[in-house]
Amino acid sequence: MLLGSDDKAFEVFAHAGTAAALLVTLPPPRVRPLMLAPAAIVGLALERAIEQRLGRRSTAVAQILGGLALVAADRAPERRLESAAGARDELWIGLAQACALVPGVSRNGATLTMARLLGFERGAAGRISREAALPVIAGATVLKLVRRPAARPATHHTVGFAAAFVSGLAAARLVPRVDRLPSYAPFGLYRVALGVIALRIMRLNGRHG
C-alpha cells in the first residue's frame, strides 16, 4: 500500500532523527561504497514499486522470515574480526542492506544476519552493521526529501523527529551490552513472535470485518 503524503513526511522526519542520533553517537564511518551501492541502486529503482505492491501481510511474513534467518545465521562460528572485512564481505552486507527496503525486513537485522553468516564475531557484526547504517539512513532521508520537498513541519512531524533522535541516543548506551551477548536468538525470536501476532490480528480482523 502506498503511503499518503503526510505519512511520507512523517517518515522523512523520523529518518532524519535517527540519522542525527547516529551522527552524535558514532565515530566518523569509514567509506565503504560496496555497502552503500546496492541499497542506493535498489532504492532509486524500486522503492515506489515496493511500497505500492507490498502490504501488511507481507510485512508480517518478512518479520517472521527475518527473525528465523537471524537465529539460523547466529549459529555460525565466530572466527573473523572487523579488520578482516574485504570487498566481497562489503558487497554481501550491502546486498543484505538493500533487502531492508522490503517492509518488515529490519536493516539492522539484515546486516547482522549477513555478517554472522560470513563468520564475523558478534561484536564485529554489530560494529559493521552500525557503520553501514548512517550513509544509508542519511541517503534515504535525502531521497525522500527530494521526492517530496519538505513543507513546514507539523507538530507530529517534530515529535517523530524528537522521538527517533532520543531513542537513537538511548539505544547507543545499550550497544556495548548487546555486542557482548552470547546469542542474537532473543532478537530473532522476538521478531518471529511479532510477525505471528500481527498475522493473527489481521486474520481476526478479517473474520469480523
Domain boundaries, the chain: 5-201
pLDDT in tens, 95-154: 998 888 888 888 889 999 999 999 999 999 988 888 887 777 777 777 666 666 555 556
- Taking alpha carbons only, the member of 92, 95, 124, 129 closest to residue 109 is 129
Mean of pLDDT values over 22-49: 78
The residue type found at 136 is: V
Per-residue pLDDT at 29: 62
Per-residue pLDDT at 37: 86
Own/partner contacts of 159-163, CB < 8 Å, gap of 24 or more, are: 160/10, 160/13, 160/14, 160/17, 161/13, 161/14, 161/16, 161/17, 161/20, 162/17, 163/14, 163/17
pLDDT in tens, 176-197: 777 788 899 999 999 999 999 9
Per-residue pLDDT at 9: 67
Q: How far is CA 195 from CA 59, 75, 96, in A?
A: 8, 22, 20
Cα separation of 53 and 65, whole Å?
19
Contacting residues for 31 by C-beta, under 8 A, at least 6 apart: none
Residue 207 pLDDT > 90: no
Residue 158 binned pLDDT confidence (cut-offs 50, 70, 90): confident
- Taking alpha carbons only, the member of 11, 10, 2, 12 closest to residue 145 is 12
Mean pLDDT, the chain, integer? 82
Residue 204 pLDDT > 50: yes
Per-residue pLDDT at 200: 92
For residues 11 and 141, is the Cβ–Cβ distance under 8 A?
Answer: no
Residue 61 pLDDT > 50: yes
Query: What are the strands, taking DSSP E only, across 50-92?
Result: none
Give me the residue label for grid cell 507481507.
58
- Taking alpha carbons only, the member of 207, 199, 184, 202 closest to residue 70 is 184
- Taking alpha carbons only, the member of 131, 29, 124, 12 closest to residue 78 is 124
Per-residue pLDDT at 81: 93
Q: Is 150 or 43 the better-scoring residue by pLDDT?
A: 43
Residue 89 pLDDT > 70: yes
Residue 39 pLDDT > 80: yes
